[in-house]
Structure 1
Amino acid sequence: MIENFATTFTPLPVLVPLLAAAATLFAGRRPRLQRAIAIVALSVVVAVAAVLTYLADHAGTIALQVGGWGPTEDGLGPLGITLVVDRLSALMVLVSSIVLLVVVFYAIGQGIRDGDGRQPVSIFLPTYLVLSTGVFMAFLAGDLFNLFVGFEVLLIASFVLLTIGGSKERVRAGVSYVMVSMVSSLVFLLGIGLVYAATGTLNLAELSLRLADIPEGTRMALFAVLLVAFGIKAAVFPLSSWLPDSYPTAPAPVTAVFAGLLTKVGVYAIIRAHSLLFPGGGMDRVLLVAGLLTMLLGILGAIAQSDIKRLLSFTLVSHIGYMVFGVALSTQLGMSGAIYYVAHHILVQTTLFLVVGLIERQAGASTLQRLGGLAAASPLLAFVFVVPALNLGGIPPFSGFIGKVALLEAGAEVGSVLAWMLVAGSVVTSLLTLYVVARVWTKAFWRARKDAPEGHLSAAAPAVLLDDTEESMDVEYVDRDDVGRMPPGMLIPTGALIVVGLLLTVLAGPIVAYSDRAAQEVLDRSQYITAVLGDSR
């Protein structure tokens, strides 16, 4: 009975937002109905994801053969679409659905647009729900082809969201993003063709068995092709240069979702390929070196930035290195730390980009040369920045500290020279991350606005921020009327996401225990294979 109940819930994270996207498209002339449909749909997905997480943890891996196309009597694997829910995929769907729900509230509170009345807001929510469908499809896909389909759904929706408004900067960034994504998709499609030619199947569970029978050189070549495709999606060095130029131009809600979720889909694909399809550590050295370079070069790039959005984009790249580090160690502790860190980073990075949207609304700019005095002008804004910023920097007792300690302990446990280099690189990256967020704090929040080199140029800067004297009150606002006011509809979702992020600290014991069980399940492939193919395999 539990199995039937679980399989009934399994397709809902994909179906609900997809059907809601169609409904919101038909309701394009009724914005209130659009918003209600989107909120209800994503709320349902959050509830379903919570149920699936509980079931996966207590009843084991759940596999659904869509249309009943399961394994055949003559020994062939599943021929149709396979959806699989284990502890890892369930956690990813749950965290992602929470983020997507919170951000849609933020977007509605912002007015969906970011100041340009020409933006076609009627297509935002349908496209956003299609993006959600792609995210959930990628996490639940039990075969390479439908993982590819999930990526492509993400690509189509993300291009629309990235270029919404049609400014030159957004179109330029969108074209760059699409070109890089298409290269990644072509490499992935090539990898799919090569894998099918070598094994005769694309089902992940079936592949995990058949790949063991092909020559090691061929197996490593297939793994390398897939790693290139997934590395571009995850923004792993040297395949990460596209990200800082693409994300900062989008509206704040879009940038937040992209930063929090899209790269993690690539990390999730790397975890599946590394642990399920190609176990044995054949590419671990390559991944460890890539993780180290991703951490260090990403954070050095962040130090050189003056725009907060670009700065956070480089920190996003940098902290992908922590996740690759944990995966490449090929130990339960390393995998557990990587899984916990993925959940932490989704929440914290999304929160910080939402805060940047608040900074732009409060001060009219996100460039450090034009910012100052924000702590005095809005202590609440200072608070909502400093909490996730310290969390990103890994200050105890926040979840960033817990995740990094787990990864450092895992590296020390392995004890190889390369592992110790990663441990040292992780510490250096954490310290430099603290320096980066402290620099934002001192320049944007602590110093007076009049001391900023270009403080007088900030678009629509409120007079109280330009100077601390009474004479400054005579300065007029410029024509954009939304600057200097942070709507509760933007503040409340940001605060809610901060609270969710803090729950990773408050409930660190049970969550770390869950990530330990998820890591054990990921590294021990038998439960996944049995759930999909049955006991006969």
Structure 2
Amino acid sequence: MAATDVMVDKTAAMIAAPVTAADWLVIAPVLLPIMFGALLVMIRHSIRWHALIALGVLAAMIGANVLLLMRVLEVGPVSMTMGSWLPPFGISFTVDALGAAFSLTASVVALLCCASSVRDIDAAGRRYGFYPFLLLMMAGVSGAFLTGDMFNLYVWFEVFLISSFGLLILGSEKPQIDGATKYAVLNLVGTTLFLIATGYLYGTFGTLNMADLAVKAGQMGEVAPLMTLASLYLLAFGMKAAAFPVNFWLPASYHTPPVITGALFGGLLTKVGVYALLRTLVMIFAVERAVLSGVIGWVAVATMLVGALGALAQSDIRRISGFLVISGVGIMLAGIALGSVGGLSGAIFYALHSMLALSALYLLGGLMRQKGGSFSLHTLSGLYLASPLMTALAFIIALAVAGLPLGSGLWPKVMLVRASLEAGAWPLALAILASGFLATIALGRVFILAFWRNGIAGQPRLEAGKVSLTGYGAVSVLVIAILAMGLAPEPFIRVTTAAATGLLDSSAYVHAVFPAGGVQ
């Protein structure tokens, strides 16, 4: 060892204070699924334990996320930097109200989908890794929501994408392979753009810490190619979120896997892309977002209308759900285009609603398949007589997805329309209302044909099939959450407003990472 190596004093670059127990909450939602996902791989021959362990881990993730959100709302953003290196040298996990709310909602959806899978995933699916893939996917999703480093965000994207590939092909049926191929190729294009943009970002700033970037982007606006970087991230994350015109991969793939997988994907994965757009365009590239607001607004309008019109044109319940996912992404993009507290709060609220409501819609499609024997509106009928309970659940889910009263989708749309009118963005307000009207027609068509229609001429009367009680339970819990958000929105609006305010004023986020003001 050289003498110079011995004499180097690294203490000034290291964190000397011990990590408090409360700080471990920051990484608990990532650490738990990684550890137990690896455990499930190691006990892959004892598949009878997989579902039980996965349910316990996801329940523990919810507990950790609840405590984390409570702490963030009480004390503001919190940060934990890996390896005892001071940021920006060490990789930071930094959590504000936005990340904590997204992570909590995602873990709730994952737990309910996992509960529904207990009956629906057969021995072959368990043997080939459904539950390890599920936990590792949740590690990637949670990591993306909680990380404070752009390259680390890329890593977590890769983690959940690799796991989602495994879930997508589980069963190895021809439509699944076809859908997985399209999903993989087009998502890898988006990932490549993300990696190029991140390399360019590091070459420009010499750092990838988000708090550091938020400060330096404001200082280097005249000399750094910030518009190029913002545009690259808009394209990359827009593809991940399935925004128009790079949305075609979603309806080509989300209808092919088992319904449980579709519910996870439809509820969670596009929201990671929306979250990344919020974090980069609003917090880091605020000035560039304002310049691009017109482009983002028209992309939002096109995404809303293409998704809603696509849902009208479909007869398969899973395809209808996929196009409604796309339409909802457009509504969230509208809030990013507006960039105000009201617009961003509405977009965040809509994202949380969409996680719950779209997952419920996919799971409802599975129940309809079990009861009626098909996903097609050409053959489904008489479900009201076969199951009044399912009909009631379907009615509430339809109200929520369409943005009608009682459901969770009403208030975020009201917030976004109000913010659009206040900003003079009439096209955005009209598109939000028009997409809701078209979604109402699409879901009303499902309701009339599958539930109210009493038999089809030339076909035998429906014989009610056996429906999973765990499936009913998962959908019922989601419906309760949807009703809670629709009937008592004030607590959710407070959280989303805090999240929006934190994005627009990142000083608390920066202080959590650099408490002494030592931005490098």
Which residue of structure 1 lines up, in the alignment, with residue 254 of structure 2? Answer: 247
**Can you list the C-alpha shifts for 1:337-361, whole angstroms capped at 9, x where unaligned?**
1111111111000000000011111
Which residue of structure 1 lines up, in the alignment, with residue 101 of structure 2? Answer: 91
**Can you list the C-alpha shifts for 1:45-94, whole angstroms capped at 9, x where unaligned?**
000000000000011100100121113xxxxxx21221011101000011
Give runs of aligned pairs for residues 20-99 of structure 1, distance below 5 A: 20-71=36-87, 78-99=88-109
Give the Cα–Cα distance (whole angstroms) in 1 for the partners of residues 397 and 442 of structure 2. Answer: 13
Unpaired segments ≥5 residues, structure 1: 72-77, 457-462, 467-482
- How far is the alpha carbon of 1:239 from its aligned partner? 0.9
Return the TM-score normalized by structure 2.
0.93
Aligned mate of 1:222, from 229, 235, 242: 229
Return the TM-score normalized by structure 1.
0.90
Whether 2:346 is the aligned partner of 1:337: answer: yes
Whether 2:157 is the aligned partner of 1:151: answer: yes
2:20 is paired with a residue of what secondary structure? Answer: helix
Contact 2:47–2:126 (CA<8 Å) still a contact in 1?
no
Whether 2:276 is the aligned partner of 1:269: answer: yes
Query: CA 1:528/1:338 → structure 2, altered by over 3 Å: closer, same or farther?
Result: same
Which residue of structure 2 lines up, in the alignment, with residue 74 of structure 1? Answer: none
Which residue of structure 2 lines up, in the alignment, with residue 258 of structure 1? Answer: 265
Whether 2:168 is the aligned partner of 1:162: answer: yes
Which residue of structure 2 lines up, in the alignment, with residue 328 of structure 1? Answer: 337
**Can you list the C-alpha shifts for 1:388-422, whole angstroms capped at 9, x where unaligned?**
1111111113221111000000111111xxx1111
Aligned mate of 1:407, from 409, 412, 416: 416
Which residue of structure 1 lines up, in the alignment, with residue 7 of structure 2? Answer: none
1:348 is paired with a residue of what secondary structure? Answer: helix
Give the Cα–Cα distance (whole angstroms) in 2 for the partners of residues 3 and 437 of structure 1. Answer: 51
**Can you list the C-alpha shifts for 1:255-275, whole angstroms capped at 9, x where unaligned?**
000000000000000000111
**Can you list the C-alpha shifts for 1:157-204, whole angstroms capped at 9, x where unaligned?**
001100100011100100110001110111001001111111111111
Give the Cα–Cα distance (whole angstroms) in 2 for the partners of residues 148 and 267 of structure 1. Answer: 14
Aligned mate of 1:490, from 471, 482, 489: 471
Contact 2:283–2:506 (CA<8 Å) still a contact in 1?
yes
Which residue of structure 2 lines up, in the alignment, with residue 480 of structure 1? Answer: none
Which residue of structure 1 lines up, in the alignment, with residue 496 of structure 2? Answer: 515
- How far is the alpha carbon of 1:216 from its aligned partner? 6.6
Which residue of structure 1 lines up, in the alignment, with residue 484 of structure 2? Answer: 503
Which residue of structure 1 lines up, in the alignment, with residue 385 of structure 2? Answer: 376
1:465 is paired with a residue of what secondary structure? Answer: coil
Among the aligned pairs, what percent are the same residue? Answer: 35
Contact 1:23–1:37 (CA<8 Å) still a contact in 2?
no
Give the Cα–Cα distance (whole angstroms) in 2 for the partners of residues 29 and 363 of structure 1. Answer: 35
Aligned partner letter, 1:506: L
Aligned mate of 1:173, from 148, 167, 179: 179
Aligned partner letter, 1:335: L
Aligned mate of 2:395, from 363, 386, 390: 386
Whether 2:282 is the aligned partner of 1:286: answer: no
Give the Cα–Cα distance (whole angstroms) in 2 for the partners of residues 57 and 148 of structure 1. Answer: 27
Which residue of structure 2 lines up, in the alignment, with residue 194 of structure 1? Answer: 200
Which residue of structure 1 lines up, in the alignment, with residue 6 of structure 2? Answer: none
- How far is the alpha carbon of 1:120 from its aligned partner? 5.3
Aligned mate of 1:17, from 27, 33, 42: 33
- How far is the alpha carbon of 1:2 from its aligned partner? 13
Give the Cα–Cα distance (whole angstroms) in 2 for the partners of residues 191 and 47 of structure 1. Answer: 35
Deviates more, 1:202-211 or 1:55-64: 202-211
Which residue of structure 1 lines up, in the alignment, with residue 376 of structure 2? Answer: 367
Unpaired segments ≥5 residues, structure 2: 1-16
Whether 2:305 is the aligned partner of 1:308: answer: no
Give the Cα–Cα distance (whole angstroms) in 2 for the partners of residues 217 and 533 of structure 1. Answer: 23
Aligned partner letter, 2:93: L
Deviates more, 1:373-382 or 1:175-184: 373-382
Give the Cα–Cα distance (whole angstroms) in 2 for the partners of residues 79 and 282 of structure 1. Answer: 32
- How far is the alpha carbon of 1:465 from its aligned partner? 0.9
Give every structure 1 segment of 4 or more consecutive aligned residues whose post-TM-superposition deviation is greater than 3 Å. Answer: 117-122, 214-217
Aligned mate of 1:357, from 341, 363, 366: 366
Which residue of structure 2 lines up, in the alignment, with residue 465 of structure 1? Answer: 462
Which residue of structure 2 lines up, in the alignment, with residue 469 of structure 1? Answer: none
Aligned partner letter, 2:110: L
Contact 1:3–1:62 (CA<8 Å) still a contact in 2?
no
Give the Cα–Cα distance (whole angstroms) in 2 for the partners of residues 5 and 286 of structure 1. Answer: 45
Contact 1:17–1:132 (CA<8 Å) still a contact in 2?
yes
How many residues are matched?
499
- How far is the alpha carbon of 1:336 from its aligned partner? 0.8
